[in-house]
Each structure stands twice: as C-alpha cells, then as structure tokens.
Amino acid sequence: MDALIECDPTSQTRSPVNLKNKWRSYRNGRHTPNLALVKAVETKFPGSFAVLNHPLWSLLRLGRSVEVEVPSPLSRLPPSLFTVVWGGSVQSHHGLVLAPEWNAQRLRKIERQAGLDALACLVALLRNAIESGDRREAHIFSRSLCRMMLMMGRWLYAHGIAQPMVDYLEELLLPLAAHDGQRHSFGEQGFRSAANRLIGTASMFEANENLLLTNVQKADLMLDFLDDKFTCELSVLVGSVTCPGA
C-alpha cells in the first residue's frame, strides 16, 4: 500500500510524509483516512472504496450517539434490510423507529444476508437498544451479531480485519449489551476456531450432499447449524461469559 499510494495525492502540502507512522495510525485505529485518500486507494485496488467507506465504520464509533449517526449511514443500506427493520420504505422514516418485538424469525432475515451491510444494520439496532436502556433487547441483537461474525469469518480474515473486529466487539461493544451479568462470546476456543468449525461443517455438508449452494443458501445452512437443527450441536459456538459490573 505504501509503495503504491505513497502519500495522499490530493494533499496541498509539500512537506514529506512519514509513511510508516501514517499507515500504522490507520491500522491501529488512531486515525481514519479521509475521503480523498480512500478514493485514491480505489484507483489501485478497485472495489476497496465500498469497503473502506462503508457505514459500518461510522456506526462502530461509540463516541458518537447512534441517534445522530443512524439515519445517514442506514440510508445507504439495501432496501432488503429496511424491509426487515421498518417494514416500509426508508423515505417515510427519520431515525431508528422499530417495531416493538424482535423474534428469531425476523432476526434471521437479517442474519441470512451476512455481509457488511447486515453487520451495520445489527450494530445500529444493538447500539439503539443500548442507548434506549433496553439491555434485554441489546443482548438479543448481540447474539445475532456474534452469529453473523462467525458466518463471515473467512471473509473477515481474508481482508485482515477479523481479529481487530473481534477484539473491538469483545472489549468494547458486547459488554455494553450484557444482561443478567452475562455477555455473548465466541465459544470456549475463541473466534477463529469457532468460525472455522462452522464454515468447515457447512462446506463438508455441501460436498457430501453434492450441492452447489448460493450465498443465501449457505447462510441458511450455517444458521440451521447454529440453531442445532442437525446433530452437530454448534449453538455452543456463540456462548456467554460473566461480565463484571453488568
């Protein structure tokens, strides 16, 4: 990245840039690249703009109220997610106005769309519940968030963001969604092991049955495994741990 981009080509300054410190600050989350630099990266890595400029990253900034952040980022998400959340068009809603009850069937409609868009939606729902003081509902959303993270495990590792995301969630976000002294976690063996077991089991099933599943069908299969609809008992991959002070 350093060799290809070198520095922000839109910068008006002529002073030299300490590239090592600059990119380290991005990698460690101390700073975020500005929009012009993200666009410059797109010229070298086509498709990166959609990931780097995704609304998920804004929604994960806990220093900003989700009530302020949600309308703008979520307006960029696909209609299929709005249909689940609001049951209507986005144009008729301002802010995050939710139906009174979330059941497993409704949550699954988001989970089966596993990807950055669906992750952003769950983070928004989770943070909204936290800020509203509804710890029980926040706990429900945090379980769905953990399930989707496992389903996306290989993609997250391939893009180099799996461990930073897991650390962030376990240290900062999931404790805020603790209920009755418990918060969700990624099983006894940790995230990598849990994700590999889930995805590997689904891939083995697909191969043994000589199937060629679509992404949505694969997501449904993994959700069935997590719901223990087969004999694998993979629901333990999303566990609970004691959260002091919760």
**Segment 64-117, tens digit of pLDDT:** 787 666 656 666 678 888 778 766 544 444 444 455 567 888 899 999 999 999
| 133-138 average pLDDT score | 90
**Does residue 213 lie within any of the structural domains?**
yes
Shared domain check, 132 and 231 = yes
Shared domain check, 12 and 82 = no
What confidence score (pLDDT) does residue 166 get? 95
Shared domain check, 30 and 78 = no
Shared domain check, 197 and 151 = yes
**Does residue 246 lie within any of the structural domains?**
no
**Does residue 184 lie within any of the structural domains?**
no
Q: Could you identify the residue written with the tokens 């060629």? A: 212
Tokens linked to 3: 């060799």
Shared domain check, 150 and 68 = yes
Shared domain check, 112 and 21 = no
Q: Evaluate the CA torsion angle 168, 218, 48, 122 in order and state its sign.
A: negative
Q: Average model confidence (pLDDT) for the chain?
A: 81
Shared domain check, 153 and 207 = yes
What is the tally of structural domains in the chain?
A: 2
Shared domain check, 196 and 101 = yes
Q: Say which residue, 113 or 5, is predicted with more confidence.
A: 113
243 contacts 183 by C-beta, under 8 angstroms: yes
> What does the H/E/C string look like for 68-110?
HHCHHHHCCCCHHHHHHHCCCCHHHCCCCCCCCCCCHHHHHHH
What confidence score (pLDDT) does residue 13 get? 52
126 contacts 138 by C-beta, under 8 angstroms: yes
Kindly tell me if the per-residue pLDDT of 12 is higher than 60.
Answer: no
Shared domain check, 72 and 5 = no
What confidence score (pLDDT) does residue 90 get? 45
Ramachandran angles phi, psi of 184, nearest 5°: -80, 155
Q: Which helix (H) or strand (E) holds 182?
A: strand 182-185
Q: Evaluate the CA torsion angle 40, 41, 43, 44 in order and state its sign.
A: positive
User: Which structural domain range is residue 32 located in?
Assistant: 1-44
Give pTM, 2 decimals.
0.81
Helices assigned H by DSSP within the chain: 2-5, 19-27, 35-44, 48-52, 55-59, 66-69, 71-74, 79-85, 104-111, 116-131, 135-151, 153-158, 162-168, 191-208, 215-226
